[in-house]
Structure 1
Amino acid sequence: MVLVEELGADVDTVVLDMKAGEHRQPAFLAVNPMGKVPALLDGDALVTEQVGVFLFLADRFPERGLAPAIGDPLRGPYLRWMAFYGSSFEPACIDRAMKREPGNRGMSAYGDYETVLRTLTDQLARGPYLLGERFTAADVLWGGALGWLTMFGIVEKTPVIAAYIERVTSRPAHRAVTARDAELAAALEARRTGGAPA
């Protein structure tokens, strides 16, 4: 996880082979009955949902400066963009990918995709990061998500979005995790097929 790397956090990671359905096995369902990742245990505290994990970790390591503190004028905007991701952007993208209508505007979590995307790109255009000059956990969340969504054509890779993705993914933490993830994926595939990792 890129955020863990950015924070320099000492976290014991358990890797699940999602293709093999390990996230649906009793051992993991005992941690998170939803079978979703990420799930984080800090002592007896269970934190799930990607945005929840990001908020928790960034606040847990305040010395790294990836979450504006309570009282910081940027705290509200930071929380806005963290919540906007999970409550509006992700549902809009899922509906778009599945070619579903958002439903009645008064009942929709986000209204319409075009407005959601314009709200985001207007903010990114002010850059370089969501909170201006300050890089935060929100950028780790959004940069990774936009990289993935543009790769699959769910979100158009406009110049503003492409430049933002590049700023976030060119950071050393992102590069280190990407390299480790590639090694891990090769090892999992080798384990599944009985061959040696490439």
Structure 2
Amino acid sequence: MITLFHAPQSRSSRIVWLLEEIGAPYVIRPVSIYRPMTGEGVPDEANPHPDRRVPALDHDGVLVTESIAIVQYLCEVFPQAGLAPLPGDARRGEFLSWIGWYACEMEPALFAGMTGALAGSPQKQRDHEAVVRRLGTALGRAPYVMGERFSGADLLIASALGFGRSAFPASAAFDAYLERCKSRPAAIRGLALDVASGPQGGA
């Protein structure tokens, strides 16, 4: 059985989406978290995440935390979902590269754009421009970052882009990509489940 320890409107929301994409049975265990952007909430002692954050996922006693680890784990354990090239596939390296790029490049650029940190840092400006250029180049070639097929990398990238669209410049390609991803049936179901879990998901 899969149990997702989840706080609504947080990083774990995209894991609800991922679980809907996979189609395996799971349960959502709402937990409270501290939300640094608003200063609200308290950590939940019932949350198995070492830092009492989300997402945290228990799969038959195996604990996996952090979005990129959970995406890689579930895509491998449930290959029938077709969300990632498996180990041994020639495109596995490209998939892992996009996952790593999301965590190491896109997320920092997103928060720099949202917080106004770009104005005082030429290096952050260059990094931000590089993120916009790389994603724009990929979407200029195909509907998803790895081509014609939606993958776990798109789930991470699109969920972040949806959260922080204002951090990046106007782009018809970005907007169309976001709409393609958000309109997937699993994404729609995941959003409904996220909303239904309440404003804070108290313990």
Q: TM-score, normalised by structure 2?
A: 0.79
Matched, 1:67 2:80: no
Matched, 1:147 2:167: no
- Write out aligned runs for 1:70-81 (5 A): 70-81=87-98
Bigger relative contact order, structure 1 or 2, given CA contacts below 8 A and separation 6+? 2
1:183 corresponds to which of 185, 193, 196:
196
Q: Deviations over 1:153-197 (max 9, x none)?
A: 1223410100101111111111111122223336x69x8xxxxxx
Per the TM alignment, residue 26 of structure 1 is displaced from its structure 2 partner at its CA by 2.4
- Write out aligned runs for 1:164-183 (5 A): 164-183=177-196
Alignment check: 8 A CA contact 2:107 2:160 kept? no
* Change in 2 beyond 3 A, CA 1:157/1:148: farther
Aligned to 2:140: 125
What letter is aligned with 2:23?
A: G
Aligned to 1:161: 174
Question: In structure 2, what is the Cα distance between the partners aligned to 1:85 and 1:2?
Answer: 17
2:56 corresponds to which of 39, 58, 62:
39
Alignment check: 8 A CA contact 2:162 2:178 kept? yes
Per the TM alignment, residue 21 of structure 1 is displaced from its structure 2 partner at its CA by 2.4
Aligned to 2:11: none
Question: In structure 2, what is the Cα distance between the partners aligned to 1:56 and 1:135?
Answer: 17
Question: In structure 1, what is the Cα distance between the partners aligned to 2:163 and 2:169?
Answer: 11
Matched, 1:85 2:98: no
Question: In structure 1, what is the Cα distance between the partners aligned to 2:92 and 2:146?
Answer: 10
Question: In structure 1, what is the Cα distance between the partners aligned to 2:104 and 2:126?
Answer: 11
User: Quick check: which one's strand share is greater?
Assistant: 2
Q: TM-score, normalised by structure 1?
A: 0.80
Q: Which runs of 5+ in 2 are unaligned?
A: 1-15
Question: In structure 1, what is the Cα distance between the partners aligned to 2:56 and 2:121?
Answer: 30
Q: CA RMSD in A?
A: 2.5
Which has the higher Rg, Structure 1 or Structure 2? 1
- Which aligned segments of 4 or more residues in structure 1 are displaced greater than 3 angstroms? 17-20, 101-105
